[in-house]
């Protein structure tokens, strides 16, 4: 910055993340009372600045460039660094300018990455059974009115609000610091979400899916493509288990996700309805070899939190978003569950879920980090292109729930801003990776046919959902020749239009009309 630019910056005055300070000294400003106030102020500035703030020093509050001595300057920087340490930040930049025989400076303070545990929970369940409301009521800590008040927070598209149906995935976050839960007044507020990420030592991200049948593809994308740790199946106690409830349960289990079941709307259901719903949940679970476990007390939470992650024991809670019955227990359970996807040691990989063009930032790729860590300025491979190539891109910055972070780790939902590629060259399902992956047009898999009116054979063309890939695929080889519902066997699959990255062990779902199956890449 030249002096003119400095003058312009100062005459613009203090903004969200710019603070003027004439001079700070150790004796007064590092005493505990003053320091606390300054730390609090710095935190607000850093959060407002998306992880970084600038202190203009040697300048009065009113913006007069006074200039301070070298000793004063150095002491001020030292005091700022001490205050920064209190809020898990540090001084990362320092520029000096000669003014009036003294010094004026720009001191940059940035938040330092901290390791908070980040748990991802995906909702599933029949339309209108209360998924969005449950998530809204959890993250806000408020109750619902039974008429859609809370879910408004998560349903943001105009047609969602007017019809009361969710049509796309929504994301919500809340967290806990020490023993206190950090709620949001409005889960859509970017500053509030950023604050949760900045403050929490345990973060819960919800991926809220949709129950309406025509949007099954989106529901599957929410469950298959996001590296979830747990699935939260919502069943309205008055309406009971439906074919969609069963279908969603099947998808959660096919993805090896441990399931938690919330029996919602117990405030409006009759005792008979609740009993009946509970019985059919028990049946559905027994059919798939799972053991229901009703959570009624904090002791039950204690018992089930160690068992639930293995996926066999399924905690069931009775909840009402109107009376908040069951919410304390559900919250205790959620916050005591361990992270399941722990692949931070592997080289970085992320399947692309969404692609944005952000003004002033460029191309932003969002997704859930599958493995490894990502930091700004590193060079990564993105692809494959239609021809099977990988393009080198450079990471500009990383955001998590609107908060700028210095590092993203396995399991984080992030937006990664990259340079080196144009948005129209990118499609959902591509991979961003540290090491150059291999593109595959065909792969072998073990498949199981769940539903099919007749039988499948070579030439069968379902849509596959694998990680974030959602694409037409053709069965080009089948060991058994033909397969019917309930049968499993080896198949060779070929992506119809372009290659992707697939790896042994990955689970997938495929569908075509009423037919459906699951599989594992060999
Ligand atoms: N009385 C009562 N009403 C509830 C409860 N939970 C949700 N509701 C109401 O049920 C309706 C549907 O809730 P949503 O949260 O939109 O349902 P959803 O499962 O997200 O629906 P889709 O996203 O469209 O699949 C809303 O009007 C809520 O106010 C509850 O515990 N008690
Ligand atoms: Mg919804």
CA angle 66, 26, 61 (to 5 degrees): 30
CA-proximal residue: ligand 1, atom 23 (nearest) = 166
- Pocket mutation for ligand 1, best pick of 146, 160, 207 (most atoms within 8 Å of C-beta): 146
Whether 131 is in the pocket of ligand 1, judged by its Cβ within 6 Å, is yes
Q: Is the pLDDT of residue 158 over 80?
A: no
Residue 118, exposed/middle/buried by CB under 10 A (0-12, 13-18, 19+)? buried
507 Cβ below 6 A of ligand 1: no
Mutate to test the pocket of ligand 1, among 135, 145, 151 (most ligand atoms within 8 A of CB): 151
**C-alpha dist (Å) from residue 328 to 46, 49, 317, 318, 428:** 32, 34, 11, 11, 38
Distance 129 CA to ligand 1 centre (A): 5
pLDDT at 156: 65
Predicted pLDDT at 115: 64
How does pLDDT run across 341-354, given as a tens digit for each residue?
Answer: 666 678 999 999 99
- State if residue 133 touches ligand 1 by the CB under 6 angstroms criterion: yes
For residue 163, what are its two tokens? 């019809």
In the reported structure, the alpha carbon of residue 321 is separated from the centroid of ligand 1 by a whole-number distance in angstroms of 9
pTM for the full predicted model = 0.78
| pLDDT range class, residue 227, cuts 50, 70, 90 | confident
- Ligand 1 atom with minimal separation from the 150 CA: 29
Cα distance between residue 290 and residue 11, in whole Å = 66
Cβ contacts of residue 399 below 8 Å, gap of 6+? 50, 364, 405, 414, 415, 417
User: Residue range 40-46: average pLDDT?
Assistant: 90
Looking at the CA of 232, name the nearest ligand. 1
pLDDT per position as a tens digit, 312-327 = 999 999 999 999 999 9
What are the tokens at 502? 């697939």
Q: Does ligand 1 have an atom closer than 6 angstroms to the CB of 165?
A: yes
Lowest-confidence range among 164-168, 195-199, 432-436? 164-168
| Cis peptide preceding 369, ω within 30 of 0 | no
**What residues are neighbours of ligand 2 (ion), with CB under 5 Å?**
131-132, 166
Q: Which of 67-71, 88-92, 199-203, 479-483 comes out lowest in average pLDDT?
A: 88-92
Q: Is the CB of 324 under 6 A from ligand 1?
A: no
Q: Among all ligands shown, which has an atom nearest to the Cα of 128?
A: 1
Q: Express each pLDDT in 379-391 by its tens digit.
A: 999 999 999 999 9
CA 73 to chain CA centroid, Å, is 42
- Please work out whether the CB of residue 157 comes within 6 Å of at least one atom of ligand 1: no
């Amino acid at each position: 910055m030249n002096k003119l630019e400095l003058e312009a910056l100062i005459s613009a005055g203090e903004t969200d993340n710019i603070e003027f300070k004439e001079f700070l000294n150790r004796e007064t400003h590092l005493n505990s009372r003053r320091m606390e106030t300054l730390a609090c102020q710095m935190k607000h500035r850093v959060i407002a600045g998306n992880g970084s703030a600038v202190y203009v020093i040697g300048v009065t509050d009113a913006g007069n460039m006074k200039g301070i001595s070298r000793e004063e300057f150095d002491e001020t920087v030292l005091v700022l660094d001490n205050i920064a340490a209190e809020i898990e930040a540090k001084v990362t930049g320092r520029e000096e300018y000669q003014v009036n025989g003294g010094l004026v400076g720009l001191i940059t303070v940035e938040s330092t990455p901290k390791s908070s545990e980040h748990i991802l929970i995906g909702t599933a369940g029949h339309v209108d059974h209360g998924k969005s409301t449950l998530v809204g009521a959890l993250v806000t800590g408020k109750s619902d009115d039974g008429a859609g008040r809370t879910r408004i927070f998560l349903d943001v598209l105009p047609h969602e609000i007017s019809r009361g149906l969710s049509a796309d995935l929504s994301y919500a976050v809340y967290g806990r610091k020490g023993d206190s839960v950090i709620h949001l007044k409005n889960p859509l507020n970017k500053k509030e979400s950023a604050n949760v990420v900045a403050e929490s030592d345990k973060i819960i991200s919800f991926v809220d899916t949709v129950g309406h049948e025509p949007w099954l593809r989106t529901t599957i994308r929410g469950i298959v493509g996001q590296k979830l740790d747990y699935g939260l199946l919502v069943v309205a106690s008055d309406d009971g288990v439906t074919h969609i409830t069963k279908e969603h349960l099947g998808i959660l289990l096919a993805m090896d996700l441990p399931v938690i079941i919330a029996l919602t709307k117990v405030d409006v259901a009759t005792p008979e309805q609740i009993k009946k719903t509970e019985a059919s949940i028990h049946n559905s679970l027994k059919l798939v070899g799972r053991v229901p476990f009703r959570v009624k007390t904090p002791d039950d939470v204690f018992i089930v939190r160690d068992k639930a992650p293995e996926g066999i024991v399924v905690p069931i809670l009775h909840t009402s978003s109107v009376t908040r019955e069951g919410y304390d227990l559900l919250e205790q359970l959620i916050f005591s569950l361990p992270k399941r996807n722990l692949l931070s040691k592997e080289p970085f990989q992320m399947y692309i879920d969404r692609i944005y063009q952000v003004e002033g930032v460029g191309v932003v790729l969002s997704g859930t980090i599958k493995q490894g860590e990502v930091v700004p300025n590193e060079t990564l491979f993105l692809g494959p292109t239609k021809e099977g190539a990988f393009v080198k891109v450079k990471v500009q910055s990383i955001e998590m729930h609107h908060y700028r972070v210095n590092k993203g780790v396995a399991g984080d939902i992030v937006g990664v801003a990259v340079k080196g590629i144009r948005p129209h060259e990118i499609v959902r399902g591509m991979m961003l990776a540290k090491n150059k992956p291999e593109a595959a047009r065909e792969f072998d898999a073990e498949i199981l046919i769940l539903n099919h009116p007749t039988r499948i054979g070579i030439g069968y063309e379902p849509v596959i959902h694998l990680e974030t890939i959602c694409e037409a695929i053709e069965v080009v080889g089948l060991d058994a020749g033909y397969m019917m519902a309930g049968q499993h066997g080896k198949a060779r699959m070929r992506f119809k239009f372009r290659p992707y990255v697939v790896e042994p062990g990955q689970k997938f779902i495929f569908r075509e009309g009423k037919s459906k199956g699951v599989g594992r890449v060999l």
